[in-house]
Structure 1
């Protein structure tokens, strides 16, 4: 099995690990995600949308300081022109991140589980560390599109690229916004980077215009509940908006190799006193 995963990741830029979580475990994470919607902060909502011009959400202090917090990001279609909620709070969020793996007992439990440690060993990672985590809602009707991108654009490491762990908590279908992969694109280098602005710590800039990818490059990857998709940091991937009646929640986190590997000082997300990049092998599941 481990050789198959490595071969898939090397050949395609992603690997599908079915049955990674049991149904009851998925349901526990979904319940935790729903509970987060009952604790919405009493602050002006921050929208997360990859289709906004130059990703406006990436320029705010709230986003830039979310590395060591549980922060809330809304769907643009959940708010009216005045920034007021126009849907039920339970379906208003795009995602919550970026330190669930450190600060939330349920998400921490699954992030530092023996199954994750076993997959990291299968990937031959010597000192793997989680640098960010997100609960992604992809709610019916309002779940937004995620445009084609490479994760390494935002979490640049070299020479070893980061690996995304993307876990479907319900069936992910073409209709409700499953992932689409540009198979083999991880072998084409780093196409674009988002960098911290030298003159403003609360702003990021891009080093190049957004690449344009042919639609024919992408293959849908529908998966069943509990499946984990391992995503090479350089593979181009996207997902469509969810205009169906079915939700498509996912829990995702990104792992980097710390041994003999450079994590860029220009990345928006940096290690901090309250958000250390902990070795997965030696980190407890419990808070």
Structure 2
């Protein structure tokens, strides 16, 4: 199993497909399997690069503070290990937050940028409502898990797709690593850095996403120079999976036009 190393931390990475490099960045507390349901859509045209965030999958799990900016440096370590100087980047959820730092701080390393179901965070970002927070924090863990699934997917989808669902967290993560991921995502604030992004940028979001409120999409698109905005009607947080037939072609068309 291949690894990149940064500061003594080993990061497991995965490469699939052929063509120009495309980095796929998953959501909070998830490993690379987040992308399993749709990865083939992109691996047909691109060399897709994923990695397990520190704290997840086969990567090391140091019990120390994590940040979205730090995760961006981890991405660079993986690209350096692969000898990739420039890549397209598609980040969803917390992965979109990581991608923001990557594009703003290291513009020479990013070709085109896609930010899915993401947020600028901080004082300017729209936070999920207290009702959503309560549903995820309820002491009945089975009920909390069901609540998370219903924030990711519509009831109609869940009725015909019983799982396993790769988007609801790495089940093998230690509890401390989950807390570290939560803190990293909650501490994200890229507002001041967003105007520095020069990569062609597409912002994608589900219209019915309340886990990361859909109002964040126009905020990002308005803050990043010349960014395009596309809303996926009826989609919740995991728009890229449930609405794959809409979302994947949308992203692929954008990437092809940005080459």
Would you call these one fold, judging by a TM-score over 0.5? no
Superposition TM-score tier, normalisation by shorter sequence = under 0.3
Considering fraction of residues, name the structure with more strand.
1
Q: Which has the higher contact order (CA 8 A, sep 6+)?
A: 1
- Tell me the TM-score normalized by structure 1: 0.26
Relative to its length, the structure with more helix (as a share) is 2
Q: TM-score, normalised by structure 2?
A: 0.28
